[in-house]
Amino acid sequence: MRPLALLLLTALPLLAEPPRRFNATTEKDAIAWQEASRKFLADGLKLDGVPGSYKPTPFQEKVLRTSKQEEFTLYELELDASRGRRMNAVLTVPLGESPKKLPAVVCIHGHGGSRYVVYDPLSLYRGFATDLARHGYVTISVEVGQHKVYEDGRTLMGERLNDVVRCVDYLVSRKEVDADRIGCAGLSLGGEMAMWLGAMDTRVKATVSSGFLTNVANMRTGHCPCWDFPAFSENFDFADVYGLTAPRALLCQIGREERAPGGFPIDVAEKAMADVRKVYAAFGQKDKPVLDLHPGGHVYVNKTTMPFLDAALKR
């Protein structure tokens, strides 16, 4: 048997906190940590820069189909995702003339989904994008479930994030959209990508991350490893990424029926939220991030998310 002291010494690297985790106590230091973390993560994701800080490439928009619904028009679009790649998107715009510009939400699906599934009321997403479209929001959805890197010199998570950032770029360019009232929402992988989008792009004023609030240790058991890249997992935990949204509006939603492995248990979520609140506390807003523990499983629940988005974006 190995001596206890040797066992403890061997375990020390595993117990050490990742080096870039949040530890500031003042707002000034918290802002400095956020800015440095976004730059570090943007480099690790191989983005073109910190989202919102550089001029977006042209969209070369092509309208593939248009469909008028009772309360909104649905457009199927093709846009430039980057200088070398195109992507498809679904866009909805409320019918009628509005006296002022409209709020907008990037709606994000999870593993095995598509840009259409967030509009489907029979899916795990409960048609939350359709509800938003009927409720006076501009919505947009693209596909982020790929497990291959499309372009040389990119990363999987970077390309996924790039595409939802491009949704924000596109919304900002639309004459109907109020650029100061843009949010994002998603479930599962979509909740993860909403986390990343709200964290990295400060143009996003409200984030709904459903079915994802967790930590690295939980994600290493029973989950697809597509979330992992060294710049993140060797330096941060997920609470730090959520903390990059501070002091903007944040709602995390977890079902009480979630189970591990392969799920998002509430005890892990509660511990992660406690760490997220430490970042908000530095801004004097400890109680601003909301943790919604609903009675269901791995599903999106509009009962709390719609009032949250209305309060944050329909001012």
pLDDT in tens, 18-61: 999 999 999 999 999 999 999 999 999 999 999 999 999 999 99
List, edge to edge, every strand of the sheet that includes 102-108: 62-68, 72-82, 85-94, 138-142, 102-108, 177-187, 204-210, 249-255, 290-294
The class level of CATH for 37-313 reads: alpha beta
The confidence band for 97, taking pLDDT boundaries of 50, 70 and 90, is: confident
Q: How many CB atoms lie under 10 A from the CB of residue 206?
A: 24
Residue 75 amino acid letter: Y
The mean predicted confidence, pLDDT, of the chain is: 94
Alpha-carbon dihedral angle through residues 148, 150, 156, 159, given to the nearest 10 degrees: -140
β-partners of residue 185 are 107, 208
Residue 194's pLDDT is what?
99
Q: Is residue 3 over pLDDT 80?
A: no
- pLDDT confidence of 15, banded at 50, 70, 90? low
pLDDT above 90 covers a percentage of the chain that reads 93
Does the reported pTM lie above 0.85? yes
Nearest CA to 112 among 186, 189, 184? Answer: 189
Which amino acid makes up residue 174? R
Token readout for 268 is 């892990």
Alpha helices in 234-314 (DSSP H): 238-243, 266-282, 302-313
